[in-house]
Amino acid sequence: MRWYSKTYIGVFMAFLYLPIMILIIFSFNDSKGRTFTGFTTKWFTQLFSDGAILDALWTTLVVALISSVIATIMGTAAAIGMEKMDAKLKSVVMNLTYVPIINPEIITGVSFMLLFVTAKKWFATMGMDFEFGWTTLILAHITFNVPYVILNVLPKLRQLDHSLVEAAMDLGCNPLQAFLKVAIHEIKPGIIAGFLMALTFSMDDFVVSYFTTGAKHQTLSVMIYAMTKKRISPEINALSTMIFIAVLVVLVIVNLLERKAERKSKYSSVKWKGGARDHVK
């Protein structure tokens, strides 16, 4: 069974990472074709002089950051409110929260498009201009990111020891101060996880962005899709390689910091126990 499990894991990992490795290799290909003709780094150099790709990357990053920050704030507030609801109402709201996640993206994208078209006509009757672009992209991304934040924060709220909050209030904190100084630190891992998930889904999104983007502002995924009708530029391969390396570096740093924090926590626990034994003696 060992060889079977190892073979399965090997095939699975190859299926996941072989396409990425091929993309990285072809980002250094000297030609634009599908045959590797020689090693070069010119596509990385040309990438920084391609205004269209850099604009799409800038749009993707700005939309992802703004929508993720707002979705994190809204989702955290919603999770806190849901935690204080009675069981029946909470069950209903939870089911509604799952709908945007389970709902096919194509339906979500078309729904947003129809909503924004209707809003555009409504603003036009008042003599105001409403165009597809930054606003529509950010609003759409906030909406489909909020449920992911809620689902990450709620488990941490269930694990929260409310006696700590009550103790802080007994020591002179008002409810807001107790939340900001005590509760927020206890649920911080869930908030960070929700933010990172929202950021990832926002940068990765194509379907919703395709239906809500404008002519002047396109995300990277929409731009790459438009390129597939002709030929994808090798500069996209170079950009994808840089993004992959950046994500890999961030993951390594986060894992190292988590290990360091765990070791520090274990050391503090052992030191505290040792001091307690000495005190008893």
**Digit-coded pLDDT (tens) for 223-243:** 888 877 777 778 888 888 888
Predicted model pTM? 0.80
Decide if pLDDT at 280 tops 60.
no
Residue 162 contacts residue 223 (beta carbons within 8 Å): no
Residue 170: the pLDDT is: 77
Tokens 């379907």 correspond to: 207
Of 193, 238, 243, nearest to 61 by C-alpha is 243
Contact 100, 93 (CB under 8 A): no
Q: Check: CB of residue 32 under 8 Å from CB of residue 231.
A: yes
Start-to-end CA distance of the chain, whole Å, equals 53
pLDDT given for residue 68 in this prediction: 93
Closest residue by Cα to residue 144 from 90, 88, 199: 199
Per-residue pLDDT, 67:
93
- pLDDT of 281 over the 60 cut: no
Q: What is the mean pLDDT of residues 143-152?
A: 92
The DSSP secondary structure of 109-122, one letter per residue, reads HHHHHHHHHHHHHH
What pLDDT band is residue 247 in, cutting at 50, 70 and 90? confident
- Confidence check: pLDDT of 127 > 50: yes
State the pLDDT at residue 141: 92
Average pLDDT, the chain: 83
Domains of the chain by start residue, with CATH: 1-50+234-264 (no CATH), 52-232 (1.10.3720.10)
